[in-house]
Structure 1
Amino acid sequence: MKCPDLIWFLWILLLQIQVAFAQVLSNGTGLVCKPFGTCEPCPEDALHEPFCQPFGNRRLMHCLPASSATTTSVLDHRPTNTHATFASDAPLPTHTAHGETLGWESCGRIVEKERADFYEFFASNLLIAVAAIAVVLARTKRLQAMQARQLAARIGLVRESPGGWSNG
């Protein structure tokens, strides 16, 4: 590497470190948080919490104090979050590393749940459409039978026997 290339590399590395630490310390907690696991629906009793807004889903966060977090853990490629919410009444797993704090973060929609909701919506619409078509067909058949009886009465056809129509 040439000297100017090395200087640029070190300069960019220094800027990344500064930005990472500024984000960590800007939330006032001094914690570096990493997502742990996937998004899950919030329980009914926690829906009013800020970490369950706006979609009603949450993700567990493992947070370490910024002073004990190493530079490599701050700069690795996993996403960091500085806005985890710590709720004392939210149930959290008890197995944590020394100095680690658990919290929840708000997360987006859960794809599997959204897909299931879509299929439920589609099935209910299909059921309603089939019922509506059946009602229309039954009503049409009844209306045609009523109109046929009216026409037969108007032109003088009388049904004398179950065997068929006859002129009267």
Structure 2
Amino acid sequence: MKLDLSTWFLWIMLFVQLVHAQPPIKPSNERNGTNLVCFPFGTCEPCPEDALHEPFCQPFGNRRLMHCVPVSTAGGPPTSVTHIHSPTETIRGEIPAWESCGRIVEQERADFYEFLACNLFIAIIAITVVLARSKRLQAIQARQLAARIGLVRSVPGGWSSS
């Protein structure tokens, strides 16, 4: 089976779409065992220092705001936040809650680049030290060789070399 360039391109595009596809927002009333339907409202954010011990800040120290409404107010199990209300509209009986969430991509990316910068800085310092040390050792060895074979001459006029 021979694949041409356009077929490869279509396969790559399909793979990229599958990798970047977001799962649909589903109500989370199965998890909490209540008659509430909860939806994510906003993005993950780092937990404040005083809330790091809370269960919704575990395991990564991040949390996301959730809006929970009773199932009767939601009118059955909706499939997205827009079925409940728009972001500017509030519903009577809405309860804010926190949900534990994964890592924050922007923060992880910044930490990774900081890690790379620190490693690069340490590598530059290490290479500089190694080069200076090897240059110094080479000079010492050259002086020792010159002393062994008698190339060291006295300085005329009483000058001293240091």
TM-score scaled to structure 1, two decimals? 0.67
1:30 aligns with 2:24: no
1:134 aligns with 2:128: yes
The 5-angstrom pairing of residues 1-168 of structure 1 reads 24=29, 27-71=32-76, 74-77=77-80, 97-161=91-155
Instruction: Give the number of the structure whose residues are more often strand, by fraction.
Output: 1
Q: Provide the rounded CA distance (Å) in 1 between the counterparts of 2:124 and 2:61.
A: 33
Distance 1:25 1:155, change over 3 A: closer
SS of residue paired to 1:98: coil
Q: Provide the rounded CA distance (Å) in 2 between the counterparts of 1:38 and 1:153.
A: 73
Task: Give the drift of 1:67.
Answer: 2.4
SS of residue paired to 1:157: coil
Displaced runs of 4+ in structure 1, greater than 4 A? none
The CA RMSD over aligned residues, in Å, is 2.3
Structure 2: which 5+ runs fail to align?
1-25, 82-88, 157-162
SS of residue paired to 1:104: strand
Structure-2 residue corresponding to 1:87: none
CA displacement 1:19-65 (0-9 Å, x = unmatched): x99x7366332110010000111111111111111111110000001
Equivalenced residues, count? 124
Distance 1:77 1:63, change over 3 A: closer
Distance 1:159 1:42, change over 3 A: farther
Q: Provide the rounded CA distance (Å) in 2 between the counterparts of 1:126 and 1:97.
A: 53
Q: Provide the rounded CA distance (Å) in 2 between the counterparts of 1:110 and 1:39.
A: 6
Task: Give the drift of 1:115.
Answer: 0.4
CA contact (8 A) 1:25 1:31 kept: no
Q: Provide the rounded CA distance (Å) in 1 between the counterparts of 2:73 and 2:125.
A: 64
Q: Provide the rounded CA distance (Å) in 1 between the counterparts of 2:114 and 2:32.
A: 41
Structure 1: which 5+ runs fail to align?
1-19, 79-94, 163-168
Distance 1:161 1:96, change over 3 A: farther
